[in-house]
Chains A and B, each alone.
Chain A
Amino acid sequence: MSALQIIFLIAAAVILVSAVMVTLTRNLVHAALWLVAALFGVAVIFAVLEAGFLAVVQVVVYIGAIAIMFIFAVMLTRREMLDKGPQMNKRAWLAGILGVLLFASMVYMLSTWVGFNKLPTLMGETDTLALLGNSLLLQSAYLLPFEVASVLLLAALVGAVYVASNRK
């Protein structure tokens, strides 16, 4: 077993345990912090796969923005942060069955993929960042959808400013 495999197993265990803890803990702030741990584990797996850009973006976007916004939302919307009610209702078994079905069908879909049993070849010294940028933003690739998406985000920003301003 190589060092990378050991790191992968540790990161995978951290992700799974924290993801389960997100749903099991009764304290909403703790749930948010467990979510941060799970997302950090995903960033570690990206780093192990030599996708440094994705790993860093994972930390910036998810841990930086969403986790902090989530903590803000949790703290500003509820006075009582401990959930004292029952954690499951009568139809929990149905959700369980659906979850297992979803997981099984995803595994089945993935197993039909040709690369399912193969180990990927590591890029080594190639600049994966430039590769990613070129394959995403060349004019022959996805330049137009990328720019349209950024215009959409700008529209959302302008809309938020308009809604927030109290000038009539």
Chain B
Amino acid sequence: MQDPVGNLYNWLMGLLVSWGVDQAVSNILLTFVGIVVLIVLAMVLDVFLVWIERKVVARFQDRLGPNRIGPWGIFQPFADIIKLLIKEDTTPNGADVFVFNLAPILSLASVLLLWAVLPFAEVVFGVDLNVALLYIVAAGTIGTLSIIMAGWSSNNKFALVGAYRMVANMISYEIPMVVILLIPAILTSSMSMLTISQAQNKYWFVLVVPLAALVFLISAIAELGRSPFDLNEGESEIVSGFHIEYSGMKFGLFYAGELLHAFTFGAFISILFFGGYNGPGVAQMPILGVFYFIIKAMIGYWIIMWVKYTVPRIRIDHMLYFNWKFLVPFSIAILVMTAVMHKLLSGYDTPVYVAGMLVANLILGWITVEILRAQARKKRQTDNSSAPSVVELAH
């Protein structure tokens, strides 16, 4: 039970070779089988994420949610899928058909690409890339591309405006996210997801860099295009945004991609800051890590949902202002602070190191809050002095 996936691989390899299949060919075959199994697991999880999302939003809005099909309505997603499959597949007039059909596929593929680098446990992972953090960013750019393709090829002004807004959102919030991704890389001197998880077997990075975890959560929500950053839709102005012209299963692919993306970012939060697969008993039984990993990723996903269904949408100028004038400088300050403190404290014992980093984070957070308060006070004063008084208005 130490390495079930490796044992399974070796057993299948031996079986294929004993059947007379070439070693190299059977390696390629088994790799393909592994990819297919991983994608199938992701998609099956995705089906249930639809149910989870609907059930959780119902609870937040004081409703029951799906409760008719199966126990607790758990088979509702299958009814949804059948509905999506038998819906008419429409293509708008003047659409660029090839690009129009390629966009939803790329959208879901960009999320599935991320699953290649997720370490579910020390012995269960797709591939241990030494550039995994950059790989996440690269897969995200393909997602951005799919949105602009969908918006442009639909031949619909609402879709195009929605795509522009979404892309402005994603490109802007990519910057604080990339800066924050550098912080686990600094702490572990590695960009590999597996090394980052292994490095957290004593303490979680959220204790060392809580501010970075917070900024990562915010920029992840923005990157997902979820409320309060869901500017790609707006019922009163651009309806449902870039996927307005998609019907049936093509819309389903966008929707499935969005949900799986949210879960995957919950998983990234857990890997980068909450120890990934680490938990009690993992050293003796590595496969237990999968359980901890899924639990932590689900909690991350739940927090993203919690924010989504609690906070209302913000205006686009506020969104850009918040990113460029607050999050970007703030994340760079966190990066500089982490790099300096990590170098200063690296010679000390673990408790001193963690406490020192925590105090440094608290001080930086306090300074930030003070600066924000001073700015807000100044803005209030200028607003009050420039606004006409009630007496003037009455005359």
Contacts and interface: CB of A to CB of B under 8 A. Distances in A.
Interface of A: 2-3, 29-30, 33, 36, 52-53, 56-57, 59-60, 63-65, 67-68, 71-72, 75, 127-129
B148 interface: yes
Interface in B137-179: 137-138, 140-142, 144-145, 148-149, 152, 160, 167, 171
A11 to B, nearest CB: 16
Nearest to A58: B138
A68 B141 contact: yes
Contacts, number: 58
B131 A33 contact: no
A30 B98 CA distance: 10
B86 interface: no
A60 B137 CA distance: 7
Given A36-B145, A60-B141, A63-B145, A53 B171 contact: no
A85 B349 CA distance: 72
Contacts of A72: 167
Given A56-B131, A129-B130, 20 more contacts: A3-B24, A30-B96, A33-B99, A52-B131, A53-B131, A53-B134, A59-B138, A60-B134, A60-B138, A63-B138, A63-B141, A63-B142, A65-B141, A68-B141, A68-B145, A68-B167, A71-B148, A71-B152, A75-B160, A129-B191
B385 to A, nearest CB: 20
A75 B138 CA distance: 23
Given A3-B28, A71-B148, A57 B141 contact: no
Contacts of A59: 138, 141-142
B135 interface: yes
B129 interface: yes
Contacts of B96: 29-30
Contacts of A36: 145
Interface of B: 24, 28, 96, 99, 129-131, 134-135, 137-138, 140-142, 144-145, 148-149, 152, 160, 167, 171, 191
A6 B160 CA distance: 39
A5 to B, nearest CB: 12
Question: Which of B138, B140, B144, B171 is the most central at the interface, judged by chain A CB atoms within 10 Å of its CB?
Answer: B138
A69 to B, nearest CB: 9
A6 to B, nearest CB: 10
Nearest to A29: B152
Contact of B130 (A52, A68, A71, A75): A52
Nearest to B324: A161
Contacts of A64: 137-138, 140-141, 144-145
Contact of B152 (A2, A56, A75, A127): A75
Contacts of A53: 130-131, 134
Nearest to A129: B130
Contacts of A63: 138, 141-142, 145
A57 B191 CA distance: 13
24 contacts: A2-B24, A3-B24, A29-B99, A30-B99, A52-B131, A53-B130, A53-B131, A53-B134, A56-B135, A56-B137, A60-B138, A60-B141, A63-B138, A63-B141, A63-B142, A64-B137, A64-B138, A64-B144, A65-B141, A68-B141, A68-B167, A72-B167, A75-B152, A129-B130
A22 to B, nearest CB: 15
Contacts of B171: 68
A68 B28 CA distance: 34
The 10 closest A-B pairs by CB, nearest first: A64-B141, A59-B138, A56-B134, A60-B138, A129-B130, A56-B131, A56-B138, A53-B131, A52-B131, A56-B135
A60 B144 CA distance: 11
Contact of A33 (B28, B144, B149, B160): B149
A148 B266 CA distance: 38
B131 A68 contact: no
B99 to A, nearest CB: 7
A57 B131 CA distance: 9
A65 B141 CA distance: 8
B378 to A, nearest CB: 17
Q: Which of B28, B131, B167 has the most CB of A within 10 A?
A: B131
Nearest to B133: A56
A52 B128 CA distance: 12
Contacts of B99: 29-30, 33
Contacts of B144: 64, 68
B31 to A, nearest CB: 10
A152 to B, nearest CB: 18
A129 B144 CA distance: 27
A41 to B, nearest CB: 14
Contacts of B134: 53, 56-57, 60
Nearest to A43: B138
